[in-house]
Structure 1
Amino acid sequence: MQCGNIEGASLFTEEEEALVVKSWSLMKKNAGEWGLKFFLKIFEIAPSAQKLFSFLRDSNVPLEQNPKLKSHAKSVFVMTCEAAVQLRKAGRVVIRDSSLKKLGSVHFKYGVVDEHFEVTKYALLETIKEAAGEMWSTEMKKAWSVAFDHLVAAIKTEMKPSSLPS
């Protein structure tokens, strides 16, 4: 897979797109709250993941009250969901306000590995399941899984040392 391009329309169907769009429209107005829940789930599953975030290392502020975490969580959650919503329309992963190169180099710099992406995927699906309530289904889970896998593949293609100074 190259730079997150969809190599066949069957990889993300119209039905999957509709499920992602429908659930995102439900979560969008409370993206900050859902983003924070998403990150709290990540840290619940893998407490050591907190060490990957410099703004958490020396903080005594409880996670759920940390303004930097709240801001970061919301932006990551919105970026992830919006990339999923745009996937079929754009035919590839599209990231706003950032670049895949930057995302890739940051993930590389902090030593993000496959296990981190797996924990993140599980936490994302659990968060969306909670947000979607009765709307949640096996099909919706598959749709978000496919979209997330595309995003991760696009980030991984850019996970190399950055030529930019840090």
Structure 2
Amino acid sequence: MTPSQIALVQESFAKVAPISDHAATIFYGRLFEIAPQVRAMFPDDLTEQRKKLMATLAVVVNGLSNLPAILPAASALAKRHVNYNAKPEHYPVVGAALLWTLEKGLGEAWTPEVADAWTAAYGTLSSFMIAEAYGNAQAAE
């Protein structure tokens, strides 16, 4: 990721943060719409899950300018997700739901440059997490 992409991700996330619970609700609605099979991996009451999602996103987004500092936490998170039956093929679906949510939440502020920056950020992090949880062969697929 370039420094300008990092800045775009951080600036755009700052616009979403004030509506974090609403954004998380939109995200999970979209995720379960495009991948209904993952619904069983989550609790019926998503209140805490929504808070965890947005808190994790905040840590990651704020840490993008010092990626090595957040990688240990990302590795631990990836390994925990294996216990929840997350598979490598779930990562692109989650990414699609996240990007869709950001597009809806940001409206006109969702520019092609912001989309590219978020795609790069998610791709970087998800590839790392897949490699940490499942090995490098899975990350390459």
More helix by share: 2
1:102 to partner: Cα distance: 3.2
- Report the counterpart of residue 42 of structure 1 in structure 2: 31
Which secondary structure state, in structure 2, belongs to the residue aligned with residue 102 of structure 1? helix
Q: Distance in 2 between matches of 1:111 and 1:93?
A: 26
Q: Percentage identity across aligned positions?
A: 25
- Whole-Å Cα distance in 1 between the matches of residues 107 and 69 of structure 2? 27
The Cα offsets for residues 82-134 of structure 1, whole Å up to 9 and x where unpaired, read as 313321x2133617xx9334312222123322321111001100110111111
Is 1:151 equivalent to 2:125 in the alignment? yes
Counterpart for residue 94 of structure 2: 120
Give the TM-score normalised by the residue count of structure 2. 0.82
Q: What is the DSSP-based 3-state SS (H/G/I as helix, E as strand, rest coil) of the residue aligned with 1:15?
A: helix
Aligned residues: 134
In structure 2, runs of 5+ residues without a counterpart are: 135-141
CA contact (8 A) 2:8 2:117 kept: yes
Q: Give the counterpart letter for 2:63 in structure 1.
A: Q
Give unpaired runs (5+ residues) of structure 1: 1-11, 57-65, 161-166
Deviations 1:37-64 (A, max 9, x none): 11111001111111112x23xxxxxxxx
Q: 2:41 aligns with which of 52, 55, 67?
A: 52
Selected match of 2:106 from 132, 136, 140 = 132
Question: TM-score with structure 1 length normalisation?
Answer: 0.71
Map of 1:19 onto structure 2: 8
Larger radius of gyration: 1
**Amino acid corresponding to residue 85 of structure 1 in structure 2:** N
